[in-house]
Amino acid sequence: MSIADEIRTNRDRYNAELARIRADRDLSDEARQRKICEAQARADERHRELIAQQQRRIEAESRELYKSALGLGFPAEVVREVHSGAVG
Mean pLDDT by 10 residues, the chain (88 residues): 94 98 97 98 97 92 79 60 56
Q: What is the pLDDT of residue 67?
A: 75
pTM equals 0.70
Three-state DSSP at 69 gives helix
For residues 13 and 43, is the Cβ–Cβ distance under 8 A? Answer: yes
What is the four-CA torsion angle of 81, 85, 87, 88, rounded to 10 degrees?
160
Q: What is the pLDDT of residue 24?
A: 97
> DSSP labels for 23-49?
H-TTS-HHHHHHHHHHHHHHHHHHHHH
